[in-house]
């Protein structure tokens, strides 16, 4: 029996010829990431372990570790400011050079940096202290989110246990209309399989639509595999992947693809030619319907941000709708990384946003996780390009968030209501 790409990467990393689902392997790790929430969490674990007599004078390989400041930047208060100082001292102590600092050149949301900076390569195993680490699987890598203890263990040993997941294959075919984005496709999938539909499993995306998707759009699919509970989301690397990496890294890699006779636990086939724009209602990403079904529902705020919904192409789609118009509700645009912010300025996108009356802010996870920089009030209703809408996710526990594509969110910004983007793309 052949192996899927996920199985092949795990077999290679654990020095085995073959693995099958449910095998437990100890896999060597290629890349590790922590941010300003998981980093201090790992530092706490390190200090507990040191009290127990564990020697942590050095870590396994500082060159394979990178650090981002994204959740609580700009520092929201003294505690988060102290966390940044703690993180800075820690990266100095362990000689971690790739520390992307707020206010010091390139920085941004960790998952965006992972691809924007070409930090993770096809065929690699990458673990990050954040659940949306799945995003980076679009590069043809095995990208898995872990907690503080597991990341601390990897930093000490360079390896960790994994149960080999079953893989669900999503075959997405058909010509993608210009009003449909990857966000619509992944929301539709989550609506079909539910928020635990892929729990402990790998979600692999393929089909002629995926082949033609840009790298940034592919990243939206893998990002939200997390919302279906998946261990990882993955797309086999191809020319689109290699072309994307060409300008971003000189590092060499050996791409891995699944065998033709690989076995999948389930296969779902989608024809997206007739898909209508999709929206997820409060309070779950699986709670979906067509945008048209909610047409006219009043909204208080439009949020364009996060690793899922503020990549350069997302901002281009928003600009397409906002160009020459004025927003009717509070509209916030936060590019996902400094490099994307700068490109958006050079392309004239930021001028379009400002002329439309939106505010443009620095890259941060801030409001997406309800932490700071624009959280929602009680009863406030937000439409957002982000990935979660659990109770209290973006602020007060009685606020509401609708999840949708950048096109749908931009259309709502213009009308102040849930609006089919086709009506604003004329």
Interacting residues with other proteins (CB under 8 A): 24, 26, 37-38, 40-41, 43-45, 49, 52, 54, 71-72, 76-77, 79-80, 83, 129-131, 133, 145-150, 153, 161, 163, 195-196, 199-200, 229, 231, 284, 369-372, 388, 390-393, 397
Give the count of beta carbons closer than 10 Å to the beta carbon of residue 92: 10
Given phi > 0 = left and psi -120 to 50 = alpha, else beta, which region is 399? beta
CB 383 within 8 A of CB 402: yes
Pick 76 or 290: Cβ nearer other proteins? 76
Task: Identify which of 198, 237, 194 has the alpha carbon closest to the alpha carbon of residue 218.
Answer: 237
Angle between helices 239-246 and 215-223 (to 10 degrees): 110
**Torsion sign, CA atoms 152, 85, 114, 41:** positive
CB of 38 to other proteins, least distance (A): 7
Pick 107 or 162: Cβ nearer other proteins? 162
Task: Identify which of 348, 352, 290, 363 has the alpha carbon closest to the alpha carbon of residue 327.
Answer: 352
CB of 195 to other proteins, least distance (A): 6
CB of 22 to other proteins, least distance (A): 8
Pick 83 or 385: Cβ nearer other proteins? 83
CB of 77 to other proteins, least distance (A): 8
Pick 34 or 413: Cβ nearer other proteins? 34
Pick 232 or 339: Cβ nearer other proteins? 232
Pick 167 or 419: Cβ nearer other proteins? 167
CB of 55 to other proteins, least distance (A): 13
Burial class (CB in 10 A: 0-12, 13-18, 19+), 126: buried
CB of 347 to other proteins, least distance (A): 32
CB of 201 to other proteins, least distance (A): 9
Burial class (CB in 10 A: 0-12, 13-18, 19+), 106: middle
Pick 13 or 410: Cβ nearer other proteins? 13
- The token duo for 163 is 């149960």
CB of 85 to other proteins, least distance (A): 13
Strand partners, 376: 395
Task: Identify which of 324, 311, 332 has the alpha carbon closest to the alpha carbon of residue 351.
Answer: 324
Pick 131 or 265: Cβ nearer other proteins? 131
Give the count of beta carbons closer than 10 Å to the beta carbon of residue 285: 23
- The token duo for 279 is 């929206």
């Amino acid at each position: 029996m052949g192996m899927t790409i996920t199985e092949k990467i795990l077999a290679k990393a654990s020095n085995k010829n073959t693995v099958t689902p449910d095998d437990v392997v100890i896999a060597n790790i290629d890349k590790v990431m922590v941010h300003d929430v998981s980093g201090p969490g790992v530092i706490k674990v390190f200090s507990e372990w040191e009290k127990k007599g564990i020697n942590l004078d050095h870590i396994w390989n500082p060159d394979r570790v990178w650090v981002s400041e994204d959740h609580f930047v700009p520092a929201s208060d003294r505690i988060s400011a102290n966390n940044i100082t703690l993180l800075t001292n820690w990266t100095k102590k362990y000689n971690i050079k790739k520390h992307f600092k707020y206010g010091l050149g390139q920085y941004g949301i960790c998952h965006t940096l992972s691809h924007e900076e070409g930090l993770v390569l096809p065929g690699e195993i990458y673990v990050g202290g954040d659940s949306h680490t799945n995003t980076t699987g679009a590069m043809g890598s095995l990208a898995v989110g872990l907690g503080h203890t597991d990341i601390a263990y990897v930093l000490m040993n360079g390896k960790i246990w994994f149960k080999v997941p079953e893989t669900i294959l999503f075959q997405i075919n058909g010509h993608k209309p210009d009003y449909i984005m990857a966000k619509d496709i992944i929301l539709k999938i989550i609506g079909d399989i539910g928020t635990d539909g892929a729990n402990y499993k790998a979600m692999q995306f393929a089909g002629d639509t995926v082949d033609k998707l840009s790298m940034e759009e592919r990243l939206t699919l893998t990002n939200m595999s997390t919302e279906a509970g998946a261990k990882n989301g993955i797309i086999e690397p191809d020319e689109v992947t290699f072309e994307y990496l060409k300008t971003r890294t000189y590092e060499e890699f050996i791409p891995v693809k699944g065998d033709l006779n690989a076995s999948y636990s389930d296969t779902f086939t989608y024809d997206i030619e007739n898909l209508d724009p999709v929206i997820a209602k409060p309070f779950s990403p699986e709670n979906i319907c067509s945008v048209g079904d909610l047409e006219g529902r009043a909204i208080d705020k439009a949020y364009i941000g996060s690793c899922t919904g503020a990549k350069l192409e997302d901002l281009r789609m928003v600009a397409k709708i906002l160009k020459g118009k004025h927003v009717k509700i509070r509209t916030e645009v936060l590019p996902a990384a400094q490099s994307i912010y700068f490109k958006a300025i050079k392309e004239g996108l930021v001028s379009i946003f400002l002329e439309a009356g939106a505010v443009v802010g620095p890259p941060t996870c801030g409001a997406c996780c309800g932490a700071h920089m624009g959280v929602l009030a009680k009863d406030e209703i937000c439409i957002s390009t982000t990935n979660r809408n659990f109770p209290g996710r973006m602020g007060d526990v009685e606020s509401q968030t609708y999840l949708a594509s950048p096109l749908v969110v931009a259309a709502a910004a213009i009308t102040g209501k849930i609006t089919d983007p086709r009506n604003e793309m004329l």
